[in-house]
Amino acid sequence: MASSYNPWLVLLSVAIAIVASYAALGLARRVVTNEEATWRPWLAGGALAMGFGIWAMHFIGMLALRLPLNPGLSLSYSAPLTLASMLPSTAAFGLLLYMIRRVRQPHAVHIALGSLILGAGIGGMHYAGMAAIEIAPVLRFDVGMVALSVVVAVSFASVGVWLAFRQAGARASHRTQVLGAAVMGCAVAAMHYTGMEAAHFADNCVSVSSAWSLPSDGLATAVSAGAFLILGFTILITVMDARLGEQNSRLMQDLRAAKEQAEEAARAKSDFLANMSHEIRTPMNAIIGMSMLALKTDLNPRQRNYVDKVHRSAKGLLGIINDILDFSKIDAGKLAVENIPFSLAEVLDNLANQVGYKAEDKGLELVFDVARDVPDALVGDPLRLGQVLINLGNNAVKFTDQGEITVAVRKLGGPGADATLSFQVKDTGIGMSPPQLERLFASFSQADSSTSRKYGGTGLGLAICKSLVELMHGRIEASSLPGKGSSFRFELPFGLQEATSQAGPARMLQADELRGRRALVVDDNEIARTVTAALARDMGLAVELADSGAVAVRMASDAARAGTPYELLFVDWKMPGMNGVEALRQLQNQRVRIDAASIMVTAYERDDVMDSAHAAGVSLQAVLTKPVTPSTLLETVAEVLGRCQPGKARGGERSPAPGAPRSLVGARVLLVEDNLLNQELAMELLSDAGMQVVLAQNGRDALHVLQDDIAFDGILMDCQMPVMDGFEATRAIRDDPRLTTMPVLAMTANAMAGDRERVLAVGMNDHISKPIDVDEMFNVLARWIKPRQRQRAALGMAPSPAPAAAPPVPAAPATSAAPVDGRPLDALRTIDTAAGLRRTQQNQGLYRRMLIKFAEGHRDFGTGFAAAVERGDMALATRMAHTLRGTAGTIGANAVWQAATELELACDQGRPRAAQLALLAVVQRELGPVLEELRTWTAANGPATPPAGGAAEAKAELARLTQRLRTLLVESDPEAVALVAALRRAAAGSAAQQPIHAITQAVDDFRFDEALEALDQWGGAS
């Protein structure tokens, strides 16, 4: 039977195929780009929409078919088969979208597989739809045309699959999608009409309707309307989702950019804080160290008062700096906690050292209430625990004017090898109201502005405490009432050391040695009396209490008369009415029997107590320093009972490491430091401790020293130096098999997060922060440095021979006391000499030498800097500007300092060469008058005159001085610097003047090894 097609319906079917293809390509993109949780709904909805769209195109194409049936008859379709024909295309599109989702980089095999799936789905849908036509006789198909239609379907499907993969990729565009939809739609239509040509209708065929028939009348309109509606909706939501995705992508890009900016700002802040720390701590090192050294000298009362206030203020400023840096580390999430074995008793001892003196100064009682079952050998972070306790303790002292401060420790339990401890710091101070408690742990906040004005502080301490406690997996809380005091309580989990997980301090007495022994505890403070008594009872003592000296005298007298004397008396020193010394004096005068010992308990200095007792004629067996802890009480009792050697117990000593300097006597160390002021301070501190010091100016100099001489007990390494910094030098040291165990201790002003980890990572053993805390420095040194002389003595070996002693020569007068020749310093108009003298501790001799060095060292600055810039050696140019800046600031050439600062900044920032040379001109404009004035001033000073008495006496004097200098240089004794002025005077006008100038120049710079080598090469005065 001849057939024909309705051209409008054919065009309509092609249009539906193109629209469906456009939707398919958009869906492929959405399936790929959506997140894990949302791509499945897109796949399911897309498969249904595409299945329906292609089916609609096929159905409209069948409706376009015209057969010459009987008038009034039209084709009808089986509803079940018509709907079922939709399934193959829906399943095929679902599988294709899944493949596109999973395969991000398709190959030929993926295209081929997708083509077979899509071609089979379209072919299945087509022939299932043809079977739905209700006609008799049944349709027949041309096998050849069927095969051709399948080939066409698979071939055109390959084009569609390739386009779908491409659309899903990053290279997709709207234009690509439109062109791809047109090609794919026409391909699908071509396959359909090829398949239609495979069908053969009989000449006598008639339409056979069934109960489930779908009449063809109106179907084209309904199906096409439904297809466009569904596909249009699909395209709409696809476009909307794509735009939302683009907006989200832009938003994520903005968020990433904002995050990167925030991270960059955090890095900049960290770098700024590190630089600020270095810049502040370096002069702070000099202030704290030099003021401490000055306090050791003979000062009149007014001078001592001034210097002591400077020292205290500097340490207070250092505390503020540390708070700010700690807060910054916490804010940046870069503050880490350790997990190491430690002793709780040592942490509490350190707390007593840090807080005890402050409480003593205010007349407050500091009480430690540590339960007996609290373990001592813990695993955790002792530094951060101590920091929290010291911060809370200092706060308690600050806000308490009378009464006591109690530090209580309790064990709350813990699983297995862990223990949770509760710490409470309670005071009787001013207290706080509920509103003040609510903002207590906020950063930069105190109770109120009046509190801030009256008591000072940054408002960071409690915020840092809270952050530290939370970092250690604990929690902190506070309670308070106005006028009644405050209580801070925090809980922390700790591990227990495997071999020493038992509670309490290590015992030096047998369990039954103290059981039943009678003891009297005398203290006017109820809490201190109760705590001391509880600790003594835990040790097995039978304790009675007295609240005053008079009551104690009566009770001791009554007990002695009754034949049950007290064996131990624990007597507080400072009590109202009758103090402890007076109470013991009366007992001794009355010959009251005390079987074992009288122990004075005090928060004051041990020496003060002993002096007071000696003046009153009272015999004391021991002094126990408050706050009393289980370990100090036990050790003190063991000492007075002869169970440990005197001095071995910690009972009364309140010093971070009283033996540290003594243990370092005889140690030989290599000091690697480029800053002259730090050299002078470190060498004097180390020499005062009996150590021999060899100086290296930078890391490379240190390596040169170590090539020929490794007889050092340790190396103190500055981290930031020119030529070679401390990190590179340490790596080279660790590469030397001879030096793998040599202690290397970092000395740096950087105190940011990760600084300690960085020095440890390169092979250093520990970290000493600047400004130098002398006690902490000696603690670290004693931990790592074991003098070889001491080791040889312990092994019964003879010590290494010392250099032959030189004949005694009167020491040259100190530089600061040396007579000052020439024009006065106030003749210098371009230099702030008052500021320069302040920086040299009013040492005029040292300051004059610095002025001469400045003039000599920077005479050719402009030429050297310009040459460095011309060669492109910006590292040298930056270093020259940095050196000029530092030395100008030191001598007080403020205008030069300002100009050099700008020049250094320009070099650091890599500004154009023209800008750098313009700033160089500014530096030369300021530097020229200074150098000219110094040249005139130096010439006016004139050369020193040789000593009177003739050439022979001058020669003998020079010989004695050089011999003395050699002895000091061999011993690396900083006293060599004091000989410089006398040597130059003795050599003036002689042939020795030039070599002596070179030698003393090296001595002035603390380059003792170079000075010794030059002295030996010269051969001395002959």
CATH code, domain carrying 673: 3.40.50.2300
| Domain co-membership, 96 together with 221 | yes
- Among 896, 917, 940, the domain-final residue is 940
Domain membership of residue 271 (yes or no) is no
Predicted pLDDT of residue 426: 92
Predicted pLDDT of residue 604: 67
3-class state of residue 515 by DSSP: coil
Residue reference for tokens 């999430």: 333
CATH number where 347 lies: 3.30.565.10
Residues facing residue 748 across a β-bridge: 769
Dihedral of CA atoms 315, 318, 319, 325 in degrees, nearest 10, equals -170
- Neighbouring CB atoms inside 10 A of 783's CB total 15
N-terminal to C-terminal alpha carbon distance within the chain: 138
Domain membership of residue 852 (yes or no) is yes
| Domain co-membership, 678 together with 625 | no
| Domain co-membership, 13 together with 158 | yes
Domain membership of residue 288 (yes or no) is no
Residue 404 φ/ψ, nearest 5 degrees? -145, 165
| Domain co-membership, 727 together with 780 | yes
| Domain co-membership, 42 together with 188 | yes
- Among 919, 940, 961, the domain-final residue is 940
Tell me which amino acid residue 125 is: M
* The two three-digit tokens of residue 779, written as one number: 């603690």
Predicted pLDDT of residue 716: 93
| Rounded (5°) CA angle 566-569-571 | 150
Predicted pLDDT of residue 504: 44
| Domain co-membership, 354 together with 447 | yes
* The two three-digit tokens of residue 224, written as one number: 């096409």
| Domain co-membership, 679 together with 629 | no
Give the closest residue to 535 by CA, choosing from 711, 396, 348.
Answer: 348
| Domain co-membership, 353 together with 449 | yes
Predicted pLDDT of residue 729: 93
Residue 223 burial (CB < 10 Å; 0-12/13-18/19+)?
buried
| Domain co-membership, 535 together with 475 | no
Alpha-carbon gap, residue 31 to 48, rounded angstroms: 14
Structural domain including 407 reads: 336-364+371-486
- Could you state, in chain order, the average pLDDT of each consecutive group of 10 residues for the chain (1022 residues)? 71 81 71 66 73 76 67 63 78 78 78 80 76 69 76 74 67 65 72 72 62 57 76 77 76 85 75 66 73 80 78 72 67 70 84 78 84 86 87 88 89 74 92 81 56 54 84 90 90 80 47 76 87 85 90 88 86 87 84 71 74 78 80 79 48 39 78 76 75 88 89 88 87 90 80 63 82 72 73 37 32 35 69 72 66 79 87 81 74 84 83 88 90 81 47 70 80 70 76 82 77 80 50
Give the closest residue to 379 by CA, choosing from 336, 418, 409.
Answer: 418
CATH number where 880 lies: 1.20.120
Domain membership of residue 723 (yes or no) is yes
Domain membership of residue 267 (yes or no) is no
Domain membership of residue 771 (yes or no) is yes
Alpha-carbon gap, residue 916 to 925, rounded angstroms: 14
Residues in the chain, total: 1022
Whole-angstrom CA distances from 899 to 528, 867, 893, 923, 925 are 62, 19, 10, 5, 9
Domain membership of residue 691 (yes or no) is yes
Chain center to CA of 979: 45
Could you tell me the strand order of the sheet in which 692-696 lies? Answer: 692-696, 668-672, 714-718, 744-748, 766-769
Instruction: Answer whether 230's CB lies under 8 Å from 52's CB.
Output: yes
- Own/partner pairs, 810-814, CB within 8 angstroms, 24+ separation: 811/964, 811/975, 811/978, 811/979, 812/961, 812/978, 812/979, 812/980, 812/981, 812/982, 812/983, 813/978, 813/982, 814/978
Residues facing residue 141 across a β-bridge: 199
Structurally, how many domains does the chain consist of? 6
| Domain co-membership, 783 together with 844 | no
Instruction: Answer whether 382's CB lies under 8 Å from 411's CB.
Output: no
- Among 940, 961, 982, the domain-final residue is 940
| Domain co-membership, 602 together with 570 | yes
Domain membership of residue 196 (yes or no) is yes
Chain center to CA of 681: 28
84 membership: H or E segment, kind and range: helix 79-84
| Domain co-membership, 848 together with 787 | no
Could you tell me the strand order of the sheet in which 133-136 lies? Answer: 206-207, 133-136, 76-78, 213-215
* The two three-digit tokens of residue 115, written as one number: 């083509």
